[in-house]
């Protein structure tokens, strides 16, 4: 054990003497933003060979967050591919969650050698876990390979890490035990008003799209206050304040977009849409009174940028369990294309630009409209055919990892794509539906032809 880990373990023993009494910590197995995870065995029962995973949550975590994680593990876990909990130890602000140890493989290590059948089994088991938690209206919010443990040899799976989970708005079903599953509400502190900072970022496709030499993604600018825009700029406006210096052509384009948005939104009952209609400063170098009086729109945006759905990226406040399906769709895309991470973005705007590069500007714009947002995107980009894209990505050996012979037991890309079947891509498209309202549910996905 490295000295630094030894110190960490000793500190944990010191904070939680009870832990030291019962467990012998063997090694560190994971470290995230909010925790460190260790492997341990029982100290006083040498004959018991059961191993445990101890998750030491960072002391600054919000209590409701910890409560959420425990509640999910305890009440929803232990079945349907969802991790369970054995015990929880606490001393002051130090908390350790004790789970059964789940031996697992690293996603990126197996990715290129997974057979089409293994991919199908992976997706099926992921959807089983999601169907289970979604039945309780719980959104995981951080579905990604490192939170869905998988053991290739035993073909076992386990969804972990409910640190970001929360309840979706429930369509009340009377006396349903599932709706009585409550989670604490974690209030994100509202963002400060009048933020002066400018978020303008070049969309860089570090991910697989780049290696395909796909048309470079558009650049994005979140239309906040007072910053210059330039050619090839996509503005993501949230229907709130906007005061930018723009060229006459840009103003014209914006005015056109606004009048289009007005006419298409006038029938909508969305509050955010009506805000957009009444605002009179859009595209002008000023902020009107209506806009200055607006409350900042707050929407959950936890998770990992590359797995965030378009509605999360565009700060849509009414998110549902469908955000997890999008993330699962991104994993599916990795499995089919053999590229991980598929979207490599450090921030929301880059992530959105990459989605636009893949799905095309018009479809993303239309999806934005449905959730009451006005997305302006220049230049226009076409959508890619996901099946062809996966074929090309499997075919092009640009990546170092593509050493000859490692690729799916020497199967050629076309053989691979053929074996995957067309129905896989049909399901993929339904999971990566830009419109959260029509995106397939876990329950329906499991009924899809792909799994028949
Ligand atoms: P974080 O919130 O820090 O991301 P996670 O719960 O995702 O914490 O755990 C981090 C890592 O620890 C996981 O990616 C996984 O590799 C490992 N891990 C977590 N729980 C278990 C478990 N029960 N068994 C084995 N490994 C686990
Ligand atoms: Mg995690």
The answer to whether 69 and 117 are in contact (CB under 8 A) is no
Q: Determine which residue's CA is closest to atom 15 belonging to ligand 1.
A: 30
User: Does the C-beta of 101 come closer than 6 Å to ligand 1?
Assistant: yes
Q: From first to last of its 452 residues, what are the pLDDT tens digits of the chain?
A: 899 999 999 999 999 999 999 999 999 999 988 899 999 999 999 999 999 999 999 999 999 999 999 999 999 999 999 999 999 999 999 999 999 999 999 999 999 999 999 999 999 999 999 999 999 999 999 999 999 999 999 999 999 999 999 998 765 555 566 667 888 776 554 444 343 333 332 333 344 444 343 334 443 433 333 333 333 333 443 333 333 445 556 556 656 665 554 444 443 434 444 444 567 777 778 888 888 887 777 787 778 899 999 999 999 999 999 999 999 999 999 999 999 999 999 889 999 999 999 999 999 999 999 999 989 888 899 999 999 999 899 887 544 455 555 544 445 788 888 889 899 999 999 999 999 999 999 999 999 999 99
Catalytically annotated residues: 142
Q: Which residues contact 263 (CB under 8 A, 6 or more apart)?
A: none
- pTM passes above 0.90: no
HEC states along the chain?
CCHHHHHHHHHHHHHCHHHHHHEEEEEEEEECCCEEEEEEEECCCCCCCCEEEEEEECCCCCHHHHHHHHHHHHHHCCCCCECCCCEEEEECCEEEEEEECCCCECHHHHHHHCCHHHHHHHHHHHHHHHHHHHHCCEECCCCCHHHEEEECCCCEEEECCCCCCEECCCCCCCCCHHHHCCCCCCCCCCCCCCCCCCEEECCCCCCHHHHCCCCCCCEEEECCEEEECCCCEEEEECCCCCEEECCHHHHHHHHHHHHHHHHHHCCCCCHHHHHHHHCCCCCCCCCCHHHHCCCCCCCCCCCCHHHCCHHHHCCCCCCCCHHHHHHHHHHHHHHHHCCCCCCCCCCHHHHHHHHHHHHCHHHHHHHHHHCCCEEECCCCCCCCCHHHHHHHHHHCCCCCCCCCCCCHHHCCHHHHHHHHCHHHHHHHHHHCCCCCCCCCCHHHHHCCHHHC
DSSP-assigned beta bridge partners for residue 201: 220
202-231 tens-digit pLDDT: 333 344 444 343 334 443 433 333 333 333
What pLDDT was estimated at residue 212? 40
What pLDDT was estimated at residue 186? 61
Q: Which residues contact 438 (CB under 8 A, 6 or more apart)?
A: none
Best residue among 25, 37, 81, 156 to mutate for probing ligand 1, ranked by most atoms within 8 Å of CB: 37
Cα–Cα distance for residue pair 131/124, rounded to 1 Å: 10
Could you tell me the sign of the dihedral formed by the alpha carbons of 357, 362, 363, 368, in that order? positive
Q: Which ligand is nearest to the CA of 149?
A: 1
Best residue among 30, 58, 103, 144 to mutate for probing ligand 1, ranked by most atoms within 8 Å of CB: 30
Cα–Cα distance for residue pair 107/223, rounded to 1 Å: 37
Q: How many C-beta atoms surround the C-beta of residue 299 within 10 A?
A: 16
Q: Which residues contact 166 (CB under 8 A, 6 or more apart)?
A: 68, 138, 139, 141, 183, 185, 186, 300
User: Does the C-beta of 161 come closer than 6 Å to ligand 1?
Assistant: yes
User: Does the C-beta of 395 come closer than 6 Å to ligand 1?
Assistant: no
| 403 alpha-carbon distance from chain centroid | 30
What pLDDT was estimated at residue 29? 96
Cα–Cα distance for residue pair 244/284, rounded to 1 Å: 7
The reply to whether ipTM tops 0.90 is yes
| 282 alpha-carbon distance from chain centroid | 31
Q: Determine which residue's CA is closest to atom 5 belonging to ligand 1.
A: 161
Cα–Cα distance for residue pair 244/199, rounded to 1 Å: 13
The answer to whether 399 and 211 are in contact (CB under 8 A) is yes
294-351 tens-digit pLDDT: 777 778 777 889 999 999 999 999 999 999 999 999 999 999 999 999 999 988 999 9
């Amino acid at each position: 054990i490295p000295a630094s880990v030894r110190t960490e373990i000793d500190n944990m023993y010191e904070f939680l003497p009870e832990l030291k009494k019962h467990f012998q910590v063997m090694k560190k197995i994971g470290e995230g933003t909010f925790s460190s995870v260790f492997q341990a065995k029982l100290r006083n029962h040498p004959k018991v060979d059961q191993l445990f995973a101890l998750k030491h949550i960072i002391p600054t975590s919000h209590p409701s967050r910890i409560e959420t994680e425990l509640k999910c593990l305890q009440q929803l876990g232990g079945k349907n591919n969802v991790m369970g909990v054995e015990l929880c130890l606490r001393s002051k602000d130090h908390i350790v969650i004790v789970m059964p140890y789940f031996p697992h493989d690293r996603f990126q290590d197996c990715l290129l050698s997974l057979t089409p059948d293994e991919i199908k089994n992976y997706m099926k088991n992921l959807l089983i876990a999601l169907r289970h938690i979604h039945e309780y209206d719980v959104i995981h919010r951080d579905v990604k390979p490192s939170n869905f443990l998988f053991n290739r040899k035993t073909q076992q799976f386990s969804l972990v890490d409910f640190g970001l989970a929360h309840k979706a708005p429930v369509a009340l079903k009377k006396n349903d035990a599932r709706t009585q599953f409550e989670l604490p509400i974690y209030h994100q502190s509202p963002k400060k008003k009048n933020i002066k900072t400018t978020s303008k970022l070049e969309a860089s496709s570090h991910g697989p799209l780049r290696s395909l030499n796909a048309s470079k993604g558009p650049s994005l600018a979140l239309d906040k206050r007072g910053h210059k825009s330039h050619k090839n700029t996509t503005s993501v406006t949230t229907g709130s304040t906007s005061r930018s210096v723009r060229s006459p052509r840009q103003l014209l384009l914006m005015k056109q977009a606004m009048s289009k948005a007005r006419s298409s939104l006038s029938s909508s009952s969305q509050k955010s849409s009506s805000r957009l209609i009444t605002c009179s400063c859009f595209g002008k170098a000023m902020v009107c009174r209506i806009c200055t009086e607006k409350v900042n729109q707050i929407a959950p945006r936890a998770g990992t940028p590359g797995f965030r759905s378009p509605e999360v990226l565009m700060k849509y406040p009414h998110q549902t369990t469908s955000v997890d399906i999008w993330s699962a769709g991104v994993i599916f895309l990795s499995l089919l294309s053999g590229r991980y991470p598929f979207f490599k973005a450090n921030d929301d705007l880059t992530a959105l630009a990459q989605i636009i590069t893949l799905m095309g500007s018009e479809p993303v714009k239309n999806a934005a409209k449905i959730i009451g947002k006005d997305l302006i995107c220049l230049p226009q980009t076409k959508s890619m055919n996901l099946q062809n894209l996966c074929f090309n990505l499997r075919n092009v050996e640009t990546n170092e990892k593509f050493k000859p012979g490692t690729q799916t037991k020497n199967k050629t890309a076309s053989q691979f794509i053929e074996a995957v079947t067309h129905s896989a891509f049909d399901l993929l498209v339904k999971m990566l539906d830009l419109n959260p309202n029509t995106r397939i549910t876990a329950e329906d996905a499991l009924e899809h032809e792909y799994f028949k």
